[in-house]
Structure 1
Amino acid sequence: MLMATLPGCGNGDAMESFGGPTMGSTYSIKYVRHAGLADPAQVRSEVEGILGEVDRQMSTYRSDSDIERFNALPANRCQTMPAPVLELIRVGEQLSEQSEGAYDLTVEPLMNLWGFGPQGREEKVPSPAALAETRQRVGYRHLRIEGDQLCKDAAVEVDFNSIAAGYAVDTIAARLETMGIHDYLAEATGELKASGKKLDGSPWRIALEEPRDDQQVAERIISVDGYGVSTSGDYRNYFQQDGRRYSHTFDARSGAPVLHNLASVTVIHPSALMADGLSTLLLILGPEAAWDYAEKHDIGAFFVIRADTGFVTRTSQAFERLSGGKTD
């Protein structure tokens, strides 16, 4: 959902870049290597080690991950969890409380039921009876943390897809900083964080895509330094039935995909983790409620809304401030 513009040439120092597959998608790292910094092979090893750890702890697409082993447990059971998993559970609870339950990490059974999840079989509107039964296994309040254990009082299943990539990017960024790398663009599955400058001294510039599923078109280009950026949209993963469009973005309160005309939301935040979660939260809320939420909480948000004539955009005051204004 985010396209990073390529860096320019430099004077003496080297621009390094590498990437590969991760989390069912890809990652990419670009950074300026000054004299005396770590060998690029070591940097890559550190980054891929972080991505591998996130996958082992949080992936819903491998049965041996920590979270999938927890998801397989019946109700009224607990499991010892690594600290990052518990951290994300707390972040999810915070976002759920702030959105009055619209955002919820336990929607995986609903996603499977509608055909979007890792165990989804067919993309279709479920029967009312199946929906009612599945909703009994959804709800963040069924989770609790006891020491280093995650517990559940119903057969809920946790899905970190709305925040795991942002967490990974923050962790990578922190590792790069400890290695003396302060000019970088770190991206995983479209979530990113940029710091410092490119090789030629110009800022990192990020192109925000127009929400189209047929081609990539830049809606706006922004400069980023010291912030995470995340876009959530409903235009890549959806199905149509009886003339209605159903996306993979779920409102946990209704148990169904959202049906409003907010096509995508981009959030700028000091934390890529929070940008990731907040972009999903705002997309769930819809154009008016999301706008009010962003203004109330001083969130940098860029909204793309479907209209009869195409798309219209709207930006929060914080977005204009954090992105440095519009860039041509």
Structure 2
Amino acid sequence: MYWGARELLIRWQGVAFLLLGALSGCGNNDALESFGGPTMGSTYSIKYVRHAGLSAPGEVRVQVEQILADVDLQMSTYRSDSDIERFNALPANHCQAMPASILELVRVGEQLSVQSDGSYDLTVEPLLNLWGFGPQAREEKVPAAEALAEARQRVGHQHLRIDGDNLCKDAAVEVDFNSIAAGYAVDTIAAKLEAMGIHDYLVEATGELKAAGRKPDGSPWRIALEEPRDDRQVAERVIVVDGYGLSTSGDYRNYFERGGQRFSHTFDARTGAPVSHALASVTVIHPSALMADGLSTLLLILGPERGWDYAEKHDIGAFFVIRADTGFVTRSSHAFDRLSGKKTE
């Protein structure tokens, strides 16, 4: 699978350390199973407690990797034979039959676009390519005004329409699911594990995750949220996750600089340009990993003030890391404190 590599602000070293302690202190017959591999230009990781009578680990892995393969074949913008890339290649005023998963994500994208007054949009791929961040990008650059105006004519969720099982477009728009596909994959894997009788697990794909239940020693899944920095690892907060999805979006890894100005890969579809505010990253906790994935991107686009107001208005669990003259400052919504459990050191 060749999707653009995404920022990973959630580190797994701390989680692995806790798991090792659980394994060595486990006094029952439950086993902690784990496996992972490449996916979507990054990696995935599955950890779960195997109780007596459940499927063999090999069968669990087969089911998980089939889900990831299906997501790749349907939603990847880095392979020309995927469902969405075949749709993207169509000219205006054409339709294509689509699997239910794609239609679901288009509906979620429309919801997030409406709620953000058009700042979030699934059809920004022409802008990503033009600025040098997309799958068809040639170089990172600040585009000329004429080229930007032309690309913006091919951006806008209002140009998409669902007609039965078909996805249609009235302009030559291109859909990019990178802001929600991993969350969808995590939810789908978690549902499969639940259907297989596995209720204690941590599922992660490209940094998006969902955790439920407990580890073999009865302790909860704890996740460390890091400062968005490259020089060293600093945990901003350690939270407990049980039954929720978690997603972090940030702009500190994928960007370029020109003339002393910083241009990130996060775009506001209303302006056609990268965002330029002080919000470095935002983490969202939500019952749905898909919604956590999309909302973390939406809040990152809106920025530290508009994003905060949006999160509080809609009761979204969000943790903001904001650049300041002295480093970083953090801010968590009331819903985040409520859903993430008691703060631990």
TM range (shorter): over 0.9
1:98 aligned partner:
115
Over the matched positions of the two proteins, sequence identity in percent amounts to 80
Q: Does 1:2 align with 2:10?
A: yes
Structure 1 unaligned segments of length 5 or more: list them. Answer: none
CA distance in structure 2 between the aligned counterparts of 1:241 and 1:325, rounded to whole angstroms: 43
CA distance in structure 2 between the aligned counterparts of 1:63 and 1:128, rounded to whole angstroms: 29
1:57 aligned partner:
74
Q: Does 1:222 align with 2:230?
A: no
TM-score (normalizing by structure 1): 0.99
Q: CA deviation at 1:213?
A: 2.8
CA distance in structure 2 between the aligned counterparts of 1:215 and 1:277, rounded to whole angstroms: 28
Q: Does 1:161 align with 2:178?
A: yes
Q: How does 1:1-328 map to 2 (within 5 A)?
A: 1-4=9-12, 5-6=15-16, 7=19, 8-9=22-23, 10-11=26-27, 12-328=29-345
Aligned-partner residue type, residue 3 of structure 1: R
TM-score (normalizing by structure 2): 0.94
Q: CA deviation at 1:73?
A: 0.4
Q: CA deviation at 1:123?
A: 0.5
SS of residue paired to 1:286? helix
Q: CA deviation at 1:71?
A: 0.3
CA distance in structure 1 between the aligned counterparts of 2:230 and 2:72, rounded to whole angstroms: 27
SS of residue paired to 1:75? coil
2:6 aligned partner:
none
Aligned-partner residue type, residue 308 of structure 2: W
How many residues align? The count is: 328
Deviation digits for residues 111-152 of structure 1 (CA, Å, limit 9, x no counterpart): 000000000111111011110010000000000000000000
CA distance in structure 1 between the aligned counterparts of 2:249 and 2:127, rounded to whole angstroms: 19
Aligned-partner residue type, residue 225 of structure 1: D
CA distance in structure 2 between the aligned counterparts of 1:116 and 1:203, rounded to whole angstroms: 38
CA distance in structure 2 between the aligned counterparts of 1:254 and 1:101, rounded to whole angstroms: 10
Q: CA deviation at 1:327?
A: 1.4
Deviation digits for residues 256-292 of structure 1 (CA, Å, limit 9, x no counterpart): 0000000000000000000000000000000000000
Q: CA deviation at 1:252?
A: 0.1
CA distance in structure 2 between the aligned counterparts of 1:34 and 1:223, rounded to whole angstroms: 22
SS of residue paired to 2:280? strand
Aligned-partner residue type, residue 182 of structure 1: H
Q: CA deviation at 1:61?
A: 0.4
Q: CA deviation at 1:214?
A: 3.3
Aligned-partner residue type, residue 189 of structure 2: I
CA distance in structure 1 between the aligned counterparts of 2:182 and 2:344, rounded to whole angstroms: 26
2:3 aligned partner:
none
